[in-house]
Every structure is written in structure tokens, then in C-alpha cells.
Structure 1
Amino acid sequence: MQKVSATRAFAKVAPHVVPVMDSAVHRLTGGRFLVSASLLPGVVLTATGARSGLPRRTPLACMPEDGGTLVLVGSNFGRPGHPAWSANLLAHPDAVISGRGRDLQVTANLLTGDDRAAAWKALVAFWPPYAVYASRVTREIRVFRLAPRE
């Protein structure tokens, strides 16, 4: 599946199919299941829209870390622009993630410098297609760490 997900055809089709499918299944199962989570761990991120101020729900792959944090990658399947959800987190870092039937309030932190470099190395080891996505774009792919809010 990693080879397929690294293709340009997948990058063209997946952004239109995977989130719709994940959102529907997530709703139908009461937040307990995401189809894409059979490949990678995933959550549904609910963040406040940067411009609209409205809640925006986005199913996303994530990389769990020790200590209960998660890392999100704004790869946008190797497409040129940053994904909208990443702009939402920059404007409003407090968000909610839903997975396995539970909601968790989190705060997102955009990683930079050495923190981003270390996370990126771990991300590429975790899911090698991220390196292919990065090779297709001139922008720096945004990487966020989500930590539970007290």
C-alpha cells in the first residue's frame, strides 16, 4: 500500500475519496472506526476554521508518540498548497480529536527547527511515502504535535 500511496494518481484521487469515506464511516460507527486507520493510525480533527470561525472536521492520519502526544503531517498528499486544516490549527491551536469512540481536547504546536527535524525523521520511518510527498513540493510541509489539554 505504501507504493500505491506514493503515486501521483493516488495523490490526485485520494484527497477526494479518503476523507469522505472516513467521515461517513466515523459517523456511522459513533466515532469508533476510520477506514484509513486500517493502514495508519487516524483521528478526526475538529478545529475552528481560520476564516469562518466554524468547527471543521477532518479525518487525518497521525503518528502516536510516547507520552500521549500525536503528530499530524500537512503533506496534502504531495500537492502544492498547505491543507486547510493546518491553517485552522495555526489560527486556533485548541482543537478536539476523535478516535476509537472518544473525544480528546488537544492543543496543537507547529514544530520548527530541531523539533521538526526529529519529528520528520520519525515520520518518514513511520510512513515512507511522506518523503515522496515532500519531494513533490517546494513548500515546507507543516508538522504539528498535538498534546492533551488539561
Structure 2
Amino acid sequence: MTTASPAPKDTGKLPPRWVLKTMTRLHVFLHRLSGGGLNKLGGDEVCFVTMTGAKSGRTLTIPLMYVPHGEGVLLVASMGGAPKNPVWYHNLVKHPDIEVEHRGERRKLRARLAESAEKAALWPNCDHHYAPYAEYRKRTTRDIPIFVCEPR
């Protein structure tokens, strides 16, 4: 008789930062190598956001979950429900002009933080496109920011 092993408990801990940076670089590299054809992460749609670093001033491209919103997108600064905002949050606050690529289409957008009431209305759309956001909100004590990114 075989016994099933218990499922690993999700502790909510993120991998070390160097692992996240390496995974991000690899995902961007594979996306470019595929000619823009790599747009999924675990079955969920992603987009590639090019932004300016808040401290470095360098141009950076990172994959983020794709949540369409009108002619733009919503970017959720969840960081898996971690206690702090992701580094890219600070980039968008300081430099809101970004470029978003999804399925080979590039759009120049401007990011702004959603206000509390607006954000409450946006969460159902975010959850529809990436269900783990609901768990991330339960996991953290911080108010997870949502950027509304609209055409410039």
C-alpha cells in the first residue's frame, strides 16, 4: 500500500533575490529568442514591461502578469504577497512612462497608481486574469498597489 505524501506547504517565502533576477533575465531572453512568442508563465499570460530604473536610470525589461484594461493594462505590484513592494514599483513611481509588449504588440503607456476606491473596482479583473492575487492579498498586511497603464 502506498501512502500519499502531503503537499508541500506554501510558506509565502520568495526565492532569494539572485534567483528571481536570474529567472527574469532568462524569461526575457527566451521571449526575445522566440520572436515574442513566449507569453505565458505557468499557463498565465504575461507581458514584458520596459521601464527606467529609479536609481540607476538604466532601461530594464521585466515580465509581469498581463491584465488587460481598456486600451492599456493593469500592473499589480504583488510580489507574491511579500511584505514589501517589488523594486519595479519604485521605477514606475519615479518614471511612469513605459513600454508594454504583449504577443508581439508594443504600446507606449503611462502608469499611475490606482486610488483606493478605483482599486477596489479593479481587483475582480485582476483576479480573473491571475487567480493567485486573491491569496497574495490575504498573505500580506500591506495594501498591494495596482498601476493603471494607459496610452500616452
| TM tier, smaller | 0.7 to 0.9
Aligned counterpart in structure 1 of residue 27 of structure 2, from 4, 13, 22: 22
**Paired residues, what number?**
143
Select 2:62's aligned residue among 35, 54, 58: 58
Q: Deviations over 1:65-121 (max 9, x none)?
A: 2x3221111110122211111110010110111222232111111101211111123
Alpha-carbon offset, residue 26 of structure 1: 0.9
Please, what TM-score do these two structures have when normalized by structure 1?
A: 0.81
Unaligned ranges ≥5, structure 1: none
- 2:130 maps to 1:139: no
Q: Tell me whether 1:81 sits opposite 2:84 in the alignment.
A: yes
Indicate the residue corresponding to 1:39 in structure 2.
43
Consecutive unaligned residues of structure 2, counting only runs of 5 or more, are: 1-6
RMSD: 2.5
1:118 corresponds to:
121
* Structure with the higher fraction of residues in helix conformation: 1
TM-score by structure 2 length?
0.81
Secondary structure at 1:106's aligned position in 2? strand
2:47 maps to a residue whose letter is: V
Q: Which residue of 1 aligns with 2:4?
A: none
Identify the residue that residue 127 of structure 1 maps to in structure 2. 130
The answer to whether the Cα contact below 8 Å between 1:22 and 1:35 also exists between their aligned partners in 2 is no
Which secondary structure state, in structure 1, belongs to the residue aligned with residue 125 of structure 2?
helix
Counterpart for residue 8 of structure 1: 11
Distance 2:62 2:82 in 1: 17
